[in-house]
Structure 1
């Protein structure tokens, strides 16, 4: 009898181990890994939360290591989807090519970069692009230290700057748009890939100024003051309307997800990406991003269905003055 029960227990244990292995395999097969831009993170996380309610067996994880950090993981095959607040660069495409990774580039929304100060700041009511350049260009490091050096009517008080780290797509876009060259920035500022750290820092600093995605301002508007930017046509603040119609220039830009084509072979990834595109218009408004036009989402969905690989941009640069529909049609040869 003891021998009989021992055999039963052994068989049960083996079945349990086998079942556990199978369960682990199933869990792996129903996991979707996303990482990248902290600016795109709120939208991807919102989509993931909605998707989990419909597909509770699919484990979707969303990280925020910055656009550059996300592409490094993506090019190593560590993630299925990479969030990006700028187009992929030639170097990043080469890294993917070397690793045998093809991708589908999908625009999902627009974003405006918010320039903000603390609510304690009473002297800055707007700032020009030229003043932003004077404030952030590499030559300012160690020399531009007080606010009166930017505008003579501003007080002689210390300048404290906050901004994304160098792996951030927001950093790349801001430096190119304001300083004229990607990566051209003074280095003596408080940097973080976590926009929440920047929010907390500038909110409590009367002499501070920061820039980050509009969604982070909108979710912290109770403790931050938005600074309208004058790009040559008078001070304009970023909003759903000004970012969508392009009047908030030059600090408006598209946001993307990049999908590994091998990952698309899995049904759960197919379902998630389709769900993402179909719900991005509504959810982007909820998190403070600016949606594409309805017809543009239809074009993006067609691009995904056709598994069109590659980028619609040149050398990792956005195309100012062209709508997303124009860009998508251009690649399709229409």
Structure 2
């Protein structure tokens, strides 16, 4: 029995429900485990969770996992309110979010699930922008550069059409910190990443940024730009993202409510399954797996949090 319902037609604001269970983080009892797990957050991480749940639901129909994609900021708001068990994030948790959780008495655990490279893309017909450095990106997204000629005197005097995720996205926060030095982004903003992709496709002078998998899904219609960091300019590839040589590489996260993780066997199974997968679902979704040792370290951490395998724990308690 497989239950899978995808609600909504856009990536942002969509929510998917799947019956699922599995993984070594919990009891390993599989079909005997029942329960419900709720999450929300990053539309970048969303496709990874969806791929995981496709696998999850095939064998274990008795746990329902629901996950919305209201953006990293929106996901943390729900996590802080206590209405969700986990929050998906495309950036690390902020100090003010930590403080709000502390004020509510909510402890959390951070799990890294994959790596991503924020991809800078221009229109496919753009034949002059092959690479940019962070200073040039800042010129474009601060509004200082109005035309391509302002960025590079050898480029045409044509008005730049810059597109950006809105403030609900962790990608926006990441770009603001990494490129803008926390300055304002002056661009056409949208909550729906698919709209940003389409806008770049439809505007010959367009430029936009988004998670790597959005580029992968549309690379026949977009042109990825090499980004110069501390060393030579690199384009986003699975290799350059994983080894960090691509200047806009980042980690992707799932934050779990510690108490709910300890109390909810279904939740233990879900997180255990994510870590057991070792990034295969992330690769299927167009992202990049972390080094295997990272997943192993987090599996050990999960066992410490939950008291190890539930069956082993029960046996030890019976012996006392």
Match of 1:252 in 2: 249
What residue ranges of structure 2 are gaps of 5+ in the alignment? Answer: 1-33, 307-320
Task: Tell me by how many angstroms 1:150 deviates.
Answer: 0.9
Task: Tell me by how many angstroms 1:192 deviates.
Answer: 2.1
Q: Is the 8 A contact 1:129 1:229 kept in 2?
A: yes
Residues 1:178 and 2:179 aligned together:
yes
TM-score between both structures, scaled by the size of structure 2: 0.81
- The structure number with the bigger radius of gyration is 1
Structure in which a larger fraction of residues adopt strand: 2
CA deviations on 1:251-287 (whole Å, 9 max, x unpaired) are 1111110011232111111101100111142111111
Residues 1:158 and 2:156 aligned together:
no
Write the distance in 2 (CA, Å) between the matches of 1:232 and 1:103: 34
Match of 1:54 in 2: 59
Task: Tell me by how many angstroms 1:42 deviates.
Answer: 1.1
Q: How does 1:95-134 map to 2 (within 5 A)?
A: 95-134=100-139
Task: Tell me by how many angstroms 1:66 deviates.
Answer: 1.2
Count of paired positions: 272
Paired residue secondary structure (2:203): coil
Match of 1:329 in 2: none
Write the distance in 1 (CA, Å) between the matches of 2:241 and 2:260: 32
Write the distance in 2 (CA, Å) between the matches of 1:207 and 1:145: 11
Q: Is the 8 A contact 2:278 2:292 kept in 1?
A: no
Equivalent in 242, 259, 264 of residue 262 of structure 1:
259
Q: Is the 8 A contact 2:122 2:207 kept in 1?
A: yes
Write the distance in 1 (CA, Å) between the matches of 2:134 and 2:118: 13
Match of 1:41 in 2: 46
Q: Is the 8 A contact 2:122 2:208 kept in 1?
A: yes
Task: Tell me by how many angstroms 1:200 deviates.
Answer: 1.2
Match of 1:284 in 2: 282
Write the distance in 1 (CA, Å) between the matches of 2:80 and 2:230: 39
Paired residue secondary structure (2:118): strand
Equivalent in 166, 189, 192 of residue 191 of structure 1:
189
Task: Tell me by how many angstroms 1:167 deviates.
Answer: 2.1
Q: How does 1:211-226 map to 2 (within 5 A)?
A: 211-226=209-224
Write the distance in 1 (CA, Å) between the matches of 2:269 and 2:206: 44
Write the distance in 2 (CA, Å) between the matches of 1:241 and 1:233: 16
What residue ranges of structure 1 are gaps of 5+ in the alignment? Answer: 1-28, 309-334
CA deviations on 1:29-75 (whole Å, 9 max, x unpaired) are 72221111111111111112211112222221221111111100100
